[in-house]
Amino acid sequence: MSFDKEWASARSTATDNVSMRLNSAPADSGGGGVSNANLDVNQDKLGTLGSAAYKFYDELKVVGNVAEQSTAEAAQMMTVSAFLTGAAMSTVHDTWDSQLRTLLDACANISNHLDYSASSHEKQEKKIQAALGVSKIDEYFK
């Protein structure tokens, strides 16, 4: 089967199982409605995830740069030797570096955010407990 025939077949069957729903959502989607769930932040889970993100960041920083120097040198040598693949190799090197930096930034962001969330939640919990305690004391003075 040629590509054109296969592509036409894929396009025609792609719309077979498509349906449209307006102004509704499946009952089990979790969007809106009454729920018995409470907001529960488990400090241990947040800490574990934050540590995993930090560990991944450290490992990726080392492993992701293993071929950095050799790739840059290869691209430079191919370019100097007038090979057209030198420019392509340089593009690969630059793209890899950019994407690696983006992934490293995301890991650091996740780790920092989870650390901040755990700390912030703990402070907020203490404020709420103090406010409840004060309100109970206030009842006794009336």
Does 14 fall in a domain?
no
Orientation angle between helical segments 85-141 and 43-63, nearest 10 degrees = 160
Does 118 fall in a domain?
yes
- Cβ atoms of 102 and 127 within 8 Å: the answer is no
Does 7 fall in a domain?
no
Per-residue model confidence (pLDDT) at position 135:
65
Question: Nearest CA to 87 among 77, 71, 99, 75?
Answer: 75
Beta carbons within 8 Å of 76's beta carbon, 6+ residues apart: 86, 90
Total domains, the chain = 1
List helix spans (H) across the chain.
Answer: 3-14, 43-63, 68-80, 85-141
Each of the 142 residues of the chain gets a pLDDT tens digit; together they read 788 888 788 777 776 666 655 555 555 555 555 555 555 666 777 778 888 888 889 999 989 888 888 999 999 999 999 898 999 999 999 999 999 999 999 988 888 887 777 777 778 877 877 777 666 666 666 6
Does 122 fall in a domain?
yes
Long-range contacts, 81-87 (Cβ 8 Å, 24+): none
- 16 by DSSP, 3-state: which? coil
Per-residue model confidence (pLDDT) at position 111:
83
Per-residue model confidence (pLDDT) at position 11:
77
Per-residue model confidence (pLDDT) at position 53:
86
Does 100 fall in a domain?
yes
Both tokens assigned to 2: 């040629």
Per-residue model confidence (pLDDT) at position 74:
92
Whose tokens are 């077979």? That residue is 16
Does 57 fall in a domain?
yes
pTM of this prediction? 0.53
Both tokens assigned to 56: 């991944």
Does 21 fall in a domain?
no
Does 59 fall in a domain?
yes
Per-residue model confidence (pLDDT) at position 94:
93
Which residue range(s) make up the domain with 134? 40-141
